[in-house]
Amino acid sequence: MSRIGKLPISLPKGVTIDIQNNVVRVKGPKGELAQTVNPNIKVEVENGEVKISRSNDDKQNRAFHGLYRALINNMVTGVAEGYTKTLELVGVGYRVSNQGQILEFALGYSHNIFLKLPEEIKVETKSERNQNPLVILQSVDKQLLGQVCAKIRSLRKPEPYKGKGIRFKGEIVRRKAGKSATKK
């Protein structure tokens, strides 16, 4: 048995699950999510817990067992509590502002970069004096949130010499020494 797959998922108060035609729909106070499940994986709701089982022990089914358990668990957590990620811009002159769902970045290039975010993501930007600008993203969909964060981070990845770039709040960037200016 899959160690992850056999764990039951407890449903928080206010969260409901509907399973029809291999589609799992999860509704909660923060929103609604849906996920298509492989026909070899069986999803059941019993006594406020979701249990996932597989039809046989094929290698592919064993992999799907843990995968779908993790995806459904992320959906339940998302609609109950939501997910938040914070990105910080480290670098002289790096700025960010938002107008609704459009982010405008000034990242040291010759032009500003505009990025339109999906409607499912709530965005907030903070720029305080003597602090790095922050981008705070919130969503019920963990997959979409991670994908958008990766896209934003790819605009200017943290570089190892000065540490400049877009990074997650609290992320530690390994630094390199650079050139040594010793002469004999």
**Count of the separate structural domains present in the chain:** 2
55 shares its domain with 89:
no
Q: Does residue 2 carry a pLDDT above 70?
A: no
C-beta of residue 76 within 8 angstroms of C-beta of residue 27: no
Whole domain around residue 49: which residue ranges?
Answer: 9-80
List pLDDT tens digits, range 121-142: 999 999 999 999 999 999 999 9
76 shares its domain with 96:
no
pLDDT band at 182 (very low <50, low <70, confident <90, very high): low
pLDDT band at 179 (very low <50, low <70, confident <90, very high): confident
The CATH number of whichever domain residue 17 belongs to comes to 3.90.930.12
C-beta of residue 134 within 8 angstroms of C-beta of residue 169: yes
26 shares its domain with 94:
no
Instruction: State the pTM of this model.
Output: 0.88
C-beta of residue 43 within 8 angstroms of C-beta of residue 22: no
Q: Are strands 134-139 and 83-90 parallel, antiparallel or unpaired?
A: antiparallel
Q: Does 30 reside within a domain?
A: yes
The pLDDT, as a whole number, for residue 178 is: 82
Q: How far is CA 138 from CA 90, 119, 130, in A?
A: 21, 11, 25
88 shares its domain with 164:
yes
107/50 Cα distance (integer angstroms): 45
